[in-house]
Structure formats: C-alpha cells, structure tokens
Structure 1
Amino acid sequence: MPKIYNFGAGPAKLPEEVYEIIRNELTDYEGTGISLLETSHRSQTYMKLNTEVQEVVRRLLNVPANYKVLFLPAGGQGEFAAVPLNLMSRTGTADYVVTGAWSEKAAKEAKKYGKVNLVVPPTNRYTGVPDQSTWNLDPNASYVHICTNETIHGVEFNFIPDTKGVPLVADMSSNFMSRKVDVSKFGVIYGGAQKNIGTSGVALVIVREDLLNQAMPICPSILDWTQTAKNDSILNTPPMFAIYIMGRVLQWIERKGGLDAMAEAAEKKSSLIYNIIEGSNGFYYAPVAKNSRSRMNIPFRIGSSGGNETLEKEFLKGAEAMGLIQLKGHRSVGGIRASTYNAVTLEEVQKLAQYMKDFYAKHKDLI
C-alpha cells in the first residue's frame, strides 16, 4: 500500500506528532493508570486539562481578559442555533453575510429564532466575498454573522468587516488557528474542531463577556453560553476526548512556532497549488476570485467551470492509486478539492503538485 497523503476537508488530518502522543497516553493518561476515556469529568485530572486547553487558546490568539473560552458539544453546526439563541433577543433581528454553503446553513437555522437580513443578494454561485461597500447592513441588528472560510466553495475573508458597532460573529471552523486574528474586533468567534484544530465532537467558542446573559428562554441549557461559562465548560459530561485532542493539536501549533508559522506555511502550500492552476493554460480552473481564494480549501475543475467529468474521475482515480486521498469535491459542487490545513505538510502538498503537473502534461491535448 502506498504512503497516504490525506487532503480531506474534515474530519481532517492530524499532525503525526499528535498521533504519537495519543498512542502513548491512550491507556495511561499522565500517569493515572487509566485512560482519559474512563476518567471522571469532575476529577482534578480532567479539570487541569480543561484549564490547560483554555490557556493555550488564550496564548495563541492573545485572547483579551474580557472574553470567555468555552467548549460546547454539537460542533460548529450546533452553534448555528446557539448563536441566535444566545444573541438575537436584543432586537429580534440579525445580519448574515452568506458567502457559501455553511453561512447559508447558519442563516437558515437562525430564521427559526428571529428575522434574518441577508446582507448580500442571494446567489447559487459562491465565488468570492462581495466588496463591503455593496453590503446592506441593518444598524438595528443584534449581530452580524460571517463565515471566514467556506470549506465547500473555497471562499475566505481576507479582511475583518466594519460592522459599525454591531457585534461581529464569525464561524472560523475551517481556518481557526491558521493565522493571527485580532479577537477584540469580534463579539464571538466559534468553530467545530474537526477541520483544523482537532477532531469532531466539540466546538470552540470565544465570547465577549458583555454578550452573555442574553439567551432566549427557549435556549437549551447545553447551548447556553452563560451557563457554560459559569460552569467552566463542565455543565455536564463534556466531549472530553475531543477537547483533549484539540488541546494536543494546539500545543503542537505552539511548539511549531505559533500562528505566524502556520500562516507562512498556509501561504506556501496554497500558492503552490494555485500557481499550477494559473499556469495550466486553462486546463485547471479555479472558480473563486483571486482576492477571496481560501488558503485552507482549494476547489478546482479540469477543463472549464463545469468540469470535464471524465478527466476528473481519471485524475481522482490516479491520485488515489498514489496515496493522494480525499480529493473529491463536495457532492454539492463536484470537481476536485484539496484541503491544506495546518497538519498537512509542505512535502505532502509538493507530492500533489507534482501529480497535477504530470497529469496536465499527459492530458493537456484533450482540453
């Protein structure tokens, strides 16, 4: 079997060093003689870990003291409901900037709890972030919601919007911890861990303290940020193992040079693929505008915007034979997608890049 190069969009590749740590600690966590999987969430052992993971989040993102770091169940999609349930009570309305499938899902969920204003006109083609001068923001909104990186469509924000004092809420599920972020510019930052900072089962939420104590009466306790904060994210038995893995991944990021190092690597890896696309004379086609192209998720087609499905199937089959796996585009858009998260190494991306060059050289006359 060939060496595996995993370009999956999520659950995504974890760093090899983290796998080694998990293997070593799985049945004897930090000398306790038992696994964390069978450790009480009320024990000093777990409470110490709970604090350690919060602290590494604060260090990496330089989280201000007036923000809470929370761990919640149900992943990023659970927060699609938690956001309006915790924030929309102030005015009963919220602004959503829909730039791809995930922000579209978030807006749809929010409509269950209040009025949703779509800041940019609805579309079925997501190819970039519209210039903010075209946005229709509601000054009465309880918050403005964005998705900073759309995993399916490969659209990434390259700026922090000016929301004129209305709290900015950001779903960062797929570019969390890939670069430095000024947390003070946001009211809430959240994301599921399984794309770039861990495995499935937990959402990381960073919320400014003045936005607590506003949850709707119908908000389930398990999604209530205020109750979660008061109980230090141990309101019930939390997804302990997922939080543990997230902590080990974040500690790995810290050891590797922090977010500056992650950002530099992300730029190198994504540029390597985009440069091949741009230099292919139209053989490879990237649908996203250059100023909105994701550094984490790179969707592309072969032949044109619609894609040559025969060649794309051959590309994917050949890639898998070489151990380059999980490159198939999302079922809703088709094509090919390479995810180059923090744990994906430059050497692995170079392997994909060489395959793309070789495939182009062999098939360029067919387009």
Structure 2
Amino acid sequence: MTVPPKPESRPSNPNFSSGPCAKRPGWTLEALKGALVGRSHRSKPGKAKLQEVIDRSRALLNIPADYRIGIVPASDTGAVEMALWSLLGARGVDMVAWESFGKDWVTDVVKQLKLADARTFTAGYGKLPDLTQVDFKNDVVFTWNGTTSGVRVPDGEWIAADREGLTICDATSAAFAMDLPWDKLDVVTWSWQKVLGGEAAHGMLVLSPRAVARLESYKPAWPLPKIFRMTKDGKIVEGIFKGETINTPSMLAVEDALDGLRWAESVGGLKGLIERSESNLAAVADWVAAGTTAAFLAEVPATRSCTSICLKFADPKLAGQTPEVQAEVAKKVASLLEKEGVALDAGAYRDAPPGLRIWGGATVERSDIQALLPWIDWAYATVAAELVA
C-alpha cells in the first residue's frame, strides 16, 4: 500500500470524543462566570437556574407542555435506571438492543429485576433488530441512537400510536441532534455531556402523562433507593420537575448546560442543531463513497447515526487478517491520530468491532470533520504498510 503524504491542514478542534463531547465553538471558562458557586441549589436563585435548564430544554426540543422534565443524578445512566426500576413490572416488557448500552438495560431487566415476562430483541453491531416483532401491548425499552454502534432508528413510524404499554427511550446521543416524536414516547432520557457538549454527571428525565399515571398507580415489588424515588404517598413529587433535584447538582455544570442551551438557540434551535449534525455525517459519507479506507459500521444508510459516526476499515487485505491483527491496526491508527493531535479519543468503543468512532454532534464543525478525513487515510496507510501483508 502506498502511503500518501501527510496532510497539511489540521482540525482546529481535535476533540472527537463520543462523551464527554466537544464543547461548543468558541467555548472558554468565561462561559461559567455566572455560575452560582458557594450557594445552595435549593436557594431561590439556585432553583431558578435549574428551572431555566428545564424551560430552555423544553422549548428547544418542543417537549409538550404536559410532559414533566426533571434533572436527575448519575447522567443518562441514572435517568434510565430510575425509569426501569420505578416503572417496569406492571406488564410485560420488550427490550430492544443493538449495542452495549441497550444490552446493559437488558441485563438490568433480566438479571437484576428478574422480570420473567421480558422479551429480548437484539442485533449485532451495525444492524437493527426486527422492529416489527415488538409488541406495544408491553412496555418497550430501547435506545434511539446506539452510541457505540453508530446505528439509530430511522424514525418513529415503527412505534404504535395506540400502544398500551409505555415506551422508554434512552436518547442520550439523539436529543438535540435528531427529531424525536414526543407523542410516541413516554419516557425519554439524555445527559448534558453529549450533543450540547455539557459537563458530565447529570441526567435529564422526561415523563409523559401516561408515565406519571403509571408511577401513581403502580408500586414495584422491589425496594427503591432514595435517588430513584419519584412518588410520595402515591403521588408524583412535583418538586423534582421544578428544579428541586433529588441530590446536590454541580452549579458549575448547571451554568455550562445553560451556556450550551443558549448557544443552541443562537444557531437556529433544534432545526439548526440537526442540520449541523447531518452535515457532519454527509461530509463523512462523501469521503467514504470517494475512497477505499473506511466503510460505515451501520449497514443501512437510513440507520447511520449523525452523532456517533462509527467506521470500520474497508481494506480487503485487513479483512483476511486475524481478529488480533485487525484490533491492533485499529488501535494503532487511533493512537497515530492522537499523536499527531488531529483526533483525540476517536477509537471504536471497547466492545465494538475494530475501527474508529467520530463524534459528529452539533458542537463539531464540519470543517474540522473535513480536515480530519485525509488524516485517517494517511494514518491507515501508514499502519497498514507495517502490519497488513
């Protein structure tokens, strides 16, 4: 394999991590100067800051007025766990998973909650399960976008409008980059560290009126720890959804979340955010189509994520190597990109097939994606010349 010359242009921002993700363009620590540090989050100004996060999120995402929005502990994971442990068990549940985090939720439901009437629909990396098999008489748990596989559901058409169960959607790398059909979703979760580039550790939890009705009419058979409890005496704890968080949030992180939300408004709101992410995906798609270095892990174009863009190497010679060699090549390519300072944290997820994962969320500039792609060509050719016969 001929090694091309080292590219001359470099990304202005080499941060392509899939979480925590790149900060918004132009971000500096000055963005946090208004943070309510040294004050109680339960003070009047503290609750006002938290309520502002909720209100701006509702407006940006077009969340219905009768849906409740809460800030919860432990990032998206905490939000999903709160939903699973608080809501499931009232009826059967269909678990839909095609990457590592979805499979984690399967483990929780099958091995921890031990729900005997749980059905599991899974697919390998790069594919979606057969969604037509899902029974919406049951509760349904799924990720909208598979962060570690780069595979998303193309739309909400597969979700029954007349569902009897609840739909519980982990949308952590989809919210603010993909159009979510709120009328078909009962529980939606995400974290600040993804599409808007906020700091980690805090999650967002959205509940439809149907989900609230379940909380108020159903008591799980298992005990719930304090940080999961959303009801008291059979009624929803409204304070959770008015800025009165269950545990102490970082007011620095809250200020950073507000900065990201204001920036999102400045670039055209949800429409602008989606356009930025889809433009990044299109740049990668053009490069893949024009070259021979890489292919998408997602096999069907309509399912390719515009945030967690997962790639595998397309070299037929590499495909004939052992899995160990394939993994070593991918590791060395990611290491070389990092050494050159053009892509940090761009290796594939540890459980995914060998390759690269490039974050293309709205805080990433298309020009940085375009500047990176020739470096991938160069890095792969350099490594392959050494390791691929």
Shift of 1:131: 4.2
1:350 aligns to what? Answer: 370
Verify the 8 A CA contact 2:140 2:166 in the aligned structure 1: yes
Counterpart of 1:11 in structure 2 is 20
SS, match of residue 38 in structure 1: coil
Q: Does 1:262 align with 2:280?
A: no
Mapping of 1:277-288 within 5 angstroms? 277-281=288-292, 283-288=293-298
User: What is the root-mean-square deviation of aligned Cα atoms in Å?
Assistant: 2.7
Q: How many corresponding residue pairs?
A: 351
Equivalence for 1:84: 84
Contact 1:80 1:110 survives alignment (8 Å): no
Partner of 1:194: 193
- Tell me, what secondary structure is at the counterpart of 2:142? strand
SS at match of 2:206: strand
TM-score (norm. length: structure 1): 0.86
Paired with 1:80 and 1:348, the residues of 2 have a C-alpha distance of 32
Report the 3-state secondary structure (helix = DSSP H, G, I; strand = E; otherwise coil) of the residue aligned with 1:52: helix
CA contact (8 A) 1:77 1:106 kept: no
Find the aligned partners of 2:364 and 2:379 in 1 and give their Cα distance: 22
> What is the 5 A alignment of 1:5-154?
5-23=14-32, 25=33, 29=34, 36-91=36-91, 93-111=92-110, 112-113=112-113, 114-115=115-116, 117-120=118-121, 122-123=122-123, 125-133=124-132, 135-137=133-135, 139=137, 141=138, 143-154=139-150
Q: Deviations over 1:67-103 (max 9, x none)?
A: 1010000112223321222211422x31111121111
Secondary structure at the counterpart of residue 97 of structure 2:
coil
**1:364/1:221 CA distance change after superposition, 3 Å:** closer
CA drift of 1:224 comes to 2.5
Residue ranges of structure 1 left out of the alignment (5+ in a row): 30-34
Matched residue type, 2:336: G
Say whether 1:159 aligns with 2:159. Answer: no
Separation in 1, partners of 2:108, 2:328? 37
Indicate the SS of the match to 2:148: coil
Query: Secondary structure of the equivalent of 1:81?
Result: helix
**Structure 1 residue 18: Cα displacement:** 4.2
One-letter identity of the residue aligned with 1:285: A
Q: Which amino acid aligns with 1:176?
A: A
Where in structure 2 are there 5+ consecutive unaligned residues?
1-9
Percent identity for Structure 1 against Structure 2 = 19
Distance 1:130 1:237, change over 3 A: closer
Quote the Cα distance in structure 2 between the aligned partners of 1:105 and 1:343.
27
Structure 1 residues 153-175: Cα deviation after superposition (integer angstroms, max 9, x where no partner): 11111111323412211101112
Query: Which has the higher relative contact order, 1 or 2, with Cα contacts under 8 A spaced 6 or more apart?
Result: 2
Distance 1:22 1:98, change over 3 A: same
Alignment-derived partner of residue 261 in structure 2? 250
Q: Secondary structure at the match of 1:5?
A: coil
